Amino acid sequence: MSKQEVILCENLEESLGHALEKCPHDKLFILTDEHTDRLCLPALKEVPQLKNAIEIRIGAEDIHKTLDTLASVWMALSEKGATRHSLLINLGGGMVTDLGGFAAATFKRGLAYINIPTTLLAMVDASVGGKTGINFNGLKNEIGAFAPANSVLIETEFLRSLDAHNFISGYAEMLKHGLISDKAHCRTAGIRY
């Protein structure tokens, strides 16, 4: 599996600019869900390279991590003229980065993509490592592919609008990593044993 760059952003606009320079593309697409479209996309509106980006919006939450939603993303890419050299930015939680990553991995046999995770869970886990996919036949992540994002840009400012439930869900993931990792990692998460 090819390497992916994970960047802890001090300046999202600048980091995204560098990430885009490293991925020459003919067309640029941004995938959001109905919440990240409203709450997170405005933070990218000033990035000059995104001026002509084509937005694709899907429903929010795991209920939409389906073949139908995936097909709607393929359809949008196809109708808007995406080619093998187009680039997709996934702006959202783990649902968007999983489904968008799989859409990128499969459209025209694979487009480059960048993840900008907007939930804690996606920042600490889902957006990194290249596991992409959708739910199918009532089973979680039943269909998918390993396909790492070219870059993962972590901007913690996005967490300001996250609700407590989703914040705790991400924190639980961090604790799990700590518990199955080592004592030093655990201590950074505030666990003593």
Ligand X SMILES: NC(=O)c1ccc[n+]([C@@H]2O[C@H](COP(=O)([O-])OP(=O)(O)OC[C@H]3O[C@@H](n4cnc5c(N)ncnc54)[C@H](O)[C@@H]3O)[C@@H](O)[C@H]2O)c1
Residue ranges in 131-160 that form contacts with ligand X under rule CB under 6 A:
131, 140-141, 158
> Six-digit token pair at 140?
């979680």
Least spacing, CB of residue 23 vs ligand X, in Å = 20
Give the integer Cα–Cα distance in Å for 8 and 11.
9
Q: Rule CB under 6 A: say whether 59 interacts with ligand X.
A: no
Q: Considering the rule CB under 6 A, would residue 72 count as an interface residue with ligand X?
A: no
Instruction: Kindly give the residue spans of alpha helices, DSSP state H, lying in 11-147.
Output: 12-21, 34-39, 67-79, 94-106, 120-121
Say if residues 3 and 129 touch (Cβ distance below 8 Å).
no
Site for ligand X in 2-41 (CB under 6 A): 33, 35-36, 39-40
CA 144 from chain center: how many Å? 15
Question: How many residues sit close enough to ligand X to count as binding (CB under 6 A)?
Answer: 30
**116: contact with ligand X by CB under 6 A:** no
Cα Rg, the chain, nearest whole Å: 16
* Site for ligand X, rule CB under 6 A: 33, 35-36, 39-40, 60-62, 65, 92-96, 98, 118-119, 121-122, 125-126, 129, 131, 140-141, 158, 161-162, 166, 169
